[in-house]
Amino acid sequence: DAGITQSPRHKVTETGTPVTLRCHQTENHRYMYWYRQDPGHGLRLIHYSYGVKDTDKGEVSDGYSVSRSKTEDFLLTLESATSSQTSVYFCAITPTVNTGELFFGEGSRLTVL
Amino acid sequence: QKEVEQDPGPLSVPEGAIVSLNCTYSNSAFQYFMWYRQYSRKGPELLMYTYSSGNKEDGRFTAQVDKSSKYISLFIRDSQPSDSATYLCAMSALNYGQNFVFGPGTRLSVLP
């Protein structure tokens, strides 16, 4: 158990509504990541954080924003959800940048109608 | 051309078989190579991590990297039904999580 909790685990929403996904860690690790996983694309990085209030964009950041006001929480927000954002979202943490090891949460399955 | 290519499968093998899973890549700067295993409806978990070329063995799992051919492999010996999962390769030029590039994954089914 990597000490990562994602919420909600499942959500169905309508186009144009805002959505916030939460990632909570109990490990006090500095680096946190948000990925999306889609068939045929693998995991793609949306945003990541390297400390409180320190975030940066990943490969597919358009339409997403993040916030990290506490070490343990990393929030992903879709300001106005679109059907192309239907996906499974994974949060990940890493205890160190030198091992290649990302610990992933259980995922949040989002459907945008 | 995608940066990392992986046959999506599904790949079905009988219990006890040797399984070979492969990825090809185009970026010659990649030097960190990983294999993740993902069970259905779960997050991926790290199986193997290698740096540069060569082989690495861990129990029934062997990871091989051939940088000259831009090709990596994961071998599973004496496969078990519990190995049924999706296997994702990942690679990076720099050893930072934000630089990892993941393959789309290969679905493996090991039949009892």
Once rounded to an integer, what is the mean pLDDT over residues B81-101? 88
Neighbouring residues of A88: CB distance < 8 A, sequence distance ≥ 6: A36, A37, A38, A107, A108, A109, A110
pLDDT of residue A96: 72
Q: Are B62 and B78 in contact (CB under 8 A)?
A: no
- Compute the nearest-CA separation of B95 from chain A (Å): 6
Backbone angle region of B78, left / alpha / beta, with phi > 0 → left and psi within -120 to 50 → alpha: left
Summarised one tens digit per residue, pLDDT across range A1-57 is 568 999 999 999 999 999 999 999 998 888 999 999 998 888 999 999 999 999 999
Contacts of A44 in chain B (CB under 8 A): 102
Taking a C-beta distance cutoff of 8 angstroms, is the pair B112, B15 a contact? yes
pLDDT digits over B18-55, tens only?
999 999 999 999 989 999 999 999 999 999 998 888 89
Query: Could you say which DSSP state residue A9 is in?
Result: S
A53 interfacial to chain B (CB closer than 8 Å): no
Cβ–Cβ under 8 Å, residues B61 and B48: yes
Amino acid at A104: F
Three state DSSP letters for A16-57: CCCEEEEEEECCCCCEEEEEEEECCCEEEEEEEEEECCEEEE
Does B2 have pLDDT greater than 90? no
B74, B66 contact by CB (below 8 A): no
Q: Is B42 on the interface with A (CB under 8 A)?
A: yes
| A107 phi-psi bin (left φ>0, alpha ψ -120 to 50, beta other) | left
Nearest to B95 among A42, A43, A100 (CB): A100
Contacts of B6 in chain A (CB under 8 A): 42
- Distance, CA of B24 to CA of B13 (rounded, Å): 22
When computed from its CA atoms, the radius of gyration of chain B, rounded to whole angstroms, is 13
- HSE (CB half, 13 Å, CA atoms) of A71? 7
Q: What is the DSSP letter of B81?
A: G
Residues on chain A touching B56 (C-beta within 8 angstroms): none
Distance from CA of B41 to the nearest CA of A (A): 7
pLDDT score for A1: 56
Q: What is the pLDDT of residue A18?
A: 96
Residue B87 near residue B108, CB atoms below 8 Å = yes
Of B6, B43, B45, the CB nearest to A107: B43
A84-113 pLDDT tens trace? 999 999 999 987 766 667 889 999 999 999
Q: From residue B97, how far is each of A52, B55, B109 by CA, in Å?
A: 17, 22, 29
Contact flag B46-A40 (C-beta cutoff 8 Å): no
Q: How many CB pairs under 8 A join A and B?
A: 63
Task: Answer whether B8 touches A (CB < 8 Å).
Answer: yes
Provide the chain A residues 7-36 that lie in CB contact (below 8 A) with chain B: 31, 33
Instruction: Please state whether beta strands A19-25 and A73-78 pair in parallel, antiparallel, or not at all (unpaired).
Output: antiparallel
Tell me the chain A residues in contact with residue B8 when contact means C-beta distances shorter than 8 Å: 40
List, as one string, the DSSP characters of A81-108. --GGG-EEEEEEEES-TTS---EE---E
Q: Give percent above pLDDT 90 in chain B.
A: 79
Question: What does the pLDDT read at residue B108?
Answer: 97
